[in-house]
């Protein structure tokens, strides 16, 4: 078995944890490699020293942002990701630091499932963005609201006059879309949600669609270029009268789901819900 570690350089504790995890796994016969630029700080071989197809798992040490970075920068790796949280409780990085050893044991003993979660692609001409959480179209430097016409499989849905629009996966429904008033979608759903950002007409509400649709966004306003951003990371500019196409990606986002951690308890804790089991 080969496991690749991905520390977060902005969290110094991740290198200390990485050294511990490396020793823990190697004692159990696991070959460990580390993201190239950070391998020397943990004392393990670099990721590039092995065949990417031979890697069984990726372990992210940081938070949800670290998992998103891996999904963007290492798309060629097809192994599922286990997230260890070093900051605030994450939805994807759901292993708390005080449960690392037990969680790693469960991983090695096969006490998990693999979630194959919906991801998106946004295309403008020959430029393509990949997103695990969301594709966000925002007015950027424009002072006024912008007009965006939305089509679902070439059928007209609506023209939103708003700060922008969010197209989110279930994975991303607890991120920006939630803050903009969108619903929470169970991560196992094959669905997406279109959420307007501060629409001028308050009757414009989020809409949930099955995940097999192609969404077309036409930028109608005669203003400056607007911003299209994938997971808050990769970006492109959309000019007036240009079109963006958003559709399901053939590549799924693979996440390790340990039996010892469940999504709903994470949801309750993250959102501060006060309900109690009777």
pLDDT at residue 85 is higher than 80: yes
Regarding whether 148 and 80 lie in a shared domain, the answer is no
**Residue 277, domain member (yes or no):** no
* Mean pLDDT, range 34-44, rounded to an integer: 95
Please indicate whether residue 64 is annotated as part of the active site. Answer: yes
Regarding whether 239 and 225 lie in a shared domain, the answer is yes
What are 255-276's pLDDT values in tens digits?
A: 999 998 888 888 888 888 877 7
What are 146-191's pLDDT values in tens digits?
A: 999 999 999 999 999 999 999 999 999 999 999 999 999 999 899 9
Q: Are 124 and 228 in contact (CB under 8 A)?
A: yes
Regarding whether 125 and 111 lie in a shared domain, the answer is no
* pLDDT number for residue 20: 97
Which residue range(s) make up the domain with 27? Answer: 2-117+252-271
* pLDDT number for residue 127: 95
**Domain count of the fold of the chain:** 2
CATH number of the CATH domain containing 6: 3.40.50.10330
Which neighbouring-strand residues pair with 218?
Answer: 149, 243
* pLDDT number for residue 277: 72
pTM of the model: 0.93
- For tokens 């008033």, name the residue: 181
What are 210-234's pLDDT values in tens digits?
A: 999 999 999 999 999 999 999 999 9
What b/e string do you get for 139-164 counting C-beta neighbours within 10 Å, with b at 16 or more?
bbebeebbbbebbeeeeeebebbbbb
What are 89-119's pLDDT values in tens digits?
A: 678 988 998 999 999 999 999 999 999 999 9
- For tokens 């708390």, name the residue: 96
Regarding whether 108 and 75 lie in a shared domain, the answer is yes
Average pLDDT score over the chain: 94
Regarding whether 64 and 144 lie in a shared domain, the answer is no
Catalytic residue among 64, 94, 106, 134: 64
Regarding whether 137 and 218 lie in a shared domain, the answer is yes
CA-wise closest residue to 147 among 223, 73, 255, 248: 223
């Amino acid at each position: 078995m080969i496991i690749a570690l991905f520390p977060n350089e902005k969290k110094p504790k991740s290198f200390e944890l990485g050294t511990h995890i490396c020793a823990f796994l190697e004692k159990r016969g696991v070959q460990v490699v580390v993201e190239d630029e950070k391998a020397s700080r943990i004392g393990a071989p670099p990721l590039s020293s092995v065949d990417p197809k031979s890697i069984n798992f990726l372990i992210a040490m940081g938070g949800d942002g670290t998992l998103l970075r891996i999904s963007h920068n290492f798309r060629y790796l097809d192994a599922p990701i286990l997230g260890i949280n070093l900051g605030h409780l994450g939805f994807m990085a759901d292993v708390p630091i005080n449960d690392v050893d037990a969680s790693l044991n469960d991983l090695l003993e096969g006490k998990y499932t693999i979630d194959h979660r919906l991801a998106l692609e946004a295309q403008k001409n020959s430029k393509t963005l990949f997103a695990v959480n969301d594709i966000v179209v925002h007015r950027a430097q424009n002072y006024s609201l912008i007009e965006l016409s939305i089509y679902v499989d070439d059928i007209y849905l609506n023209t939103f006059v708003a700060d922008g629009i969010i197209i989110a996966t279930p994975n991303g429904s607890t991120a920006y879309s939630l803050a903009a008033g969108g619903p929470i979608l169970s991560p196992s759903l094959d669905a997406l949600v279109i959420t307007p950002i501060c629409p001028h007409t308050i009757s414009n509400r989020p809409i949930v669609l099955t995940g097999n649709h192609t969404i077309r966004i036409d930028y109608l306003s005669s203003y400056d270029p607007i911003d299209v951003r994938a997971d808050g990371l990769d970006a492109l500019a959309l000019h007036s009268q240009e079109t963006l196409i958003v559709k399901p990606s053939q590549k799924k986002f693979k996440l390790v789901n340990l039996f010892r951690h469940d999504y709903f308890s994470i949801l309750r804790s993250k959102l501060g819900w006060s309900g109690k089991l009777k």
